[in-house]
Amino acid sequence: MTGPRGEARTAAMHRLFVAIRPPEPVRDLLIDAMDDSPELRWVSDDNLHLTLRFIGDVERPLADDIAAALGRIRCEPFDLRIAGIGAFELRHGGAVWAGVQPREPLTMLAAKVERLCQTASLTPERRAFHPHFTLARWNRWSAAAAQRLVERNRGLASDPFAVDRFTLFESRLSRHGAHYEVVAEYRLEPS
Ligand code: ATP
Ligand code: MG
């Protein structure tokens, strides 16, 4: 496994990503859209998030530099709402996600995070930015359950909610799934 600058992973590395945590009423709405289908691997309340930038494995000094640089981002708070549901196909399965509107403020904030990551000499993110909240993951045998989830929640929508901060998370992977820890929170301030 290699890190975001192509170096080999060591035990001392930190798997980081930058994300937005939804407020509780939005988490409740997303959880209400879920069911008890055992074929899907559901995202827990604690893990619901919208990824702005996956950083990947970095060593402590670089992690500290990134954490400090994120604090220099200037961005106004903005409103988002949940709008729609869909599914990504991955190699051996996929993910069901809730969509968000509007995209522009997220795209602008993600671009600021991306610029900073490149200044910190991370490899540029080549994949297009598709803001979403992952609800569940499926494997190659449970595509039908994922499709049912999408069909049942076609009109998924929330009231607008304020985004006034973003978060640097460290992800710890284990047999029991990912556990995210807050490294730092960054407030969005009106100018
Ligand atoms: P698990 O890997 O156990 O399914 P997870 O995907 O939530 O859980 P991570 O793999 O640590 O945990 O990922 C954290 C966040 O970063 C998630 O939003 C994930 O979709 C995203 N992510 C992970 N790997 C990449 C990648 N290579 N490129 C872009 N985003 C990624
Ligand atoms: Mg993952």
The model's pTM: 0.94
Q: What six digits make up the tokens of 45?
A: 């309340």
Q: Strand pairing of 78-90 and 165-174?
A: unpaired
CATH of the domain at 66: 3.90.1140.10
Per-residue model confidence (pLDDT) at position 1: 62
Provide the token pair at 134. Answer: 């992952």
Residue 3, domain member (yes or no): no
Average pLDDT over residues 47-76: 97
- Count of domains forming the chain: 1
Closest to 18 in 3D by CA, of 188, 171, 155, 179: 171
- State the pLDDT at residue 6: 73
Kindly give the pairing relationship between strand 93-101 and strand 78-90. Answer: antiparallel
Q: How far is the CA of 176 from the centre of ligand 2 (A)?
A: 12
Distance between CA atoms of residues 147 and 87, nearest Å: 8
Give me the domain span that covers residue 50.
15-79+103-131+161-187
- Does residue 176 lie in a domain region? yes
pLDDT per position as a tens digit, 82-93: 999 999 987 789
Within a domain: 113? yes
Q: Is residue 17 scored above 70 in pLDDT? A: yes
Residue 33 lies in a domain: yes
Residue 138 inside a domain? The answer is no
Q: Using a 6 Å cutoff on CB, does residue 177 contact ligand 1?
A: yes
Q: State which ligand 1 atom lies nearest to the alpha carbon of 171.
A: 11
pLDDT by residue (tens digit) across 96-148?
999 999 999 999 999 999 999 999 999 999 999 999 999 999 988 888 999 99
In the three-class reduction of DSSP (H, G, I as helix; E, B as strand; rest coil), residue 44 is classed as coil
Q: Is the CB of residue 114 less than 8 Å from the CB of residue 3? A: no
